[in-house]
Chains A and B, each alone.
Chain A
Amino acid sequence: MSLEDLKEELSKVVEPGDMVPRDYEKDGCLLEIKARADQVEAVAKAAREADCFLESITGVDFTNGPQIIYQFNSCTSISRVLVRVQLSRGESVVSIGSIYDAALWYEREVFELFGIRFDNHPDLRRLLLPEDADFYPLLKDYGKVHAFRSTEEIYGE
């Protein structure tokens, strides 16, 4: 499946304005999708339809709330898609574990490192940290970091 198929699948679930083409030569991604928290499941389903696999789920913490980054790629042609979900503090996302099994562990990791809860996750235990850990280490107000910025400072929007 090519990137065109994926774009076609995705255009059914997100508005065309939220699909931003990226320069692959420069930053290694082909397409960026700005999704809302309630669109995540539909986007994941579309990616699954287009025969993509889930490369990773990760989070980034900003002053105006954490972001979750989903990355999908296909093993037949390069089609790395980056899905960016901006959350407000304390907001939760729907788990995509029923669509991609790989997401189960990634979501547990994001939960324990950023404190973002995933609704409908079957087993949201801690993964890397001890079971009794009561801190979210990758939040920028924990421990020593160089900078704590807002999204405007980095993406200039």
Chain B
Amino acid sequence: MANEFLEPITEQTFFLNMGPQHPSTHGVLRLFLKLDGEYIVEADPIIGYGHRGHEKMAESHLYEQFLPNTSRMDYLAGLILNHGYVAAVEKMAGIEVPPRAEYIRVICAELNRISSHLLWFGTFVMDLGGFTPFLYCFDDRENILDILDRVSGSRLTYSYCRFGGVARDVDDEFITATQQFIERLRSRWDDYHNLVTKNVIFIHRAKDVGVINRELALRFGCTGPILRAAGVPYDIRKAEPYSIYSELDFEIPTGSKGDALDRYLVRLQEMEQSLRIIEQALERLPDGAIKAAVPHKVRPPRGDYYFAVESARGAMGYYIVSDGTSYPYRLKARVPSYGNLQVLTEVLPGTLVADTISILGSIDIVVPEVDR
């Protein structure tokens, strides 16, 4: 702890420790707050309570062996991280992926993005005191997990993408189930908006709370819905189109002010855009192979590489240094939640303690992803 942090400024100054076990910190985050009455003077997020050493693990494991780790970093959107990792290694090793596999990857990744946003929606509203939307969201989320479970065999930590393709082909039932789900979720928007978006208590707790504007977001390297809520249409799917995203028609929803309500609305609109992507991809799903022929062990040529994808939380990048063997020499995962969480040190001072919950919830962090 820095010494000046612990210096009291008035007689009323006191310190509040939130976490690492706290119902609203979404995992094992610890916030150390310096308070003046009900107002926060200084905030110090303390992380590392979920540090598992993924990056060290990569240095003694094969490229293939590291694949399951990726979906355990950000377990809410594991497939997107899978996709990013295999796409990075494919780019390094020059592996061509059959088009059908690319489409399946995108469909599953977007389904995963919706399930991540649904969980965020439920927990965010639950943090603010509404329990019913949480049950509604989990009901919808279970439908996605059923679909993904069917193709990948897992509910949460998928490892479904493989180098050169995907592990298993999808069948007609997958396609009909996905189409049914799209209809189902679209019919639920009214419920969600009536329950939450139009709720006066919710609006009061989210509007003008935790404003993160463009300048602040860029100083802290925030990406994803936080940056978009500040009015910057930055999305890796559009900025550096990977996979088949350049062929698909979708929009990037943006906010204007960058407060908690904007972030909430941006994520809700993103779910609708993801549904559009899935619809288009299902329509155009080509026939053909789902996996290219790849060597038993990939050996990317020497050099360093960077590959980024848009995860549910923002820009997710892999920086890999290869020494020409089948083990990565160094693997760095640039995770979006890292910058998104660090911005709290600037946003929290000056707000009420009760707003901490709202701000933290609207930022949507996954702590094991921050800690890696």
Contacts and interface: CB of A to CB of B under 8 A. Distances in A.
Q: For the complex, would chain B's binding face be called helix, strand, loop or mixed by DSSP majority?
A: mixed
Contacts of A56: 221, 317, 319, 332, 334
A129 interface: yes
A101 B219 CA distance: 6
A56 B315 CA distance: 11
A28 B240 CA distance: 10
Contacts of B165: none
Q: For the complex, would chain A's binding face be called helix, strand, loop or mixed by DSSP majority?
A: loop
Interface stretch (A6-14, A34-42, A75-83, A87-95): A75-83
Q: Which of A75, A123, A138, A144 has the most CB of B within 10 A?
A: A75
A157 to B, nearest CB: 11
B191 interface: no
A4 to B, nearest CB: 17
A41 to B, nearest CB: 16
Given A53-B221, A102-B220, A154 B239 contact: no
Interface string B341-359: 0100110000000000000
A154 B221 contact: no
B103 interface: no
A128 B48 contact: yes
Contacts of B1: 125
A27 interface: yes
A127 B346 contact: no
Interface in B305-319: 305-308, 315, 317, 319
Interface stretch (B167-175, B200-208, B275-283, B320-328): B320-328
A51 B2 CA distance: 31
Contacts of A149: 323, 329
Contacts of A28: 91, 305-308
B190 interface: no
A145 B329 CA distance: 9
Contact of A147 (B232, B323, B338, B371): B323
A122 B371 contact: no
B339 interface: yes
A55 B329 contact: no
Interface string A109-127: 0000100000000110111
Chain A, interface size category, equals: 35 or more
Nearest to B239: A78
B234 A75 contact: yes
B49 to A, nearest CB: 9
A46 B232 CA distance: 22
A101 B56 contact: no
B48 A154 contact: no
Contacts of B219: 53, 100-102
A7 B145 CA distance: 47
A102 B306 contact: no
A106 B294 CA distance: 36
Q: Which of A28, A56, A102, A138 has the most CB of B within 10 A?
A: A28
A105 B330 CA distance: 20
19 contacts: A27-B304, A27-B306, A53-B221, A55-B221, A55-B317, A71-B319, A71-B334, A75-B227, A78-B240, A101-B342, A102-B220, A123-B2, A128-B47, A138-B56, A143-B60, A144-B60, A145-B60, A147-B327, A154-B302
Interface of B: 1-2, 47-48, 51, 53, 55-56, 59-60, 91-92, 218-221, 223, 227, 232, 234, 239-240, 302-308, 315, 317, 319, 321-325, 327, 329-330, 332, 334, 338-339, 342, 345-346, 371-372
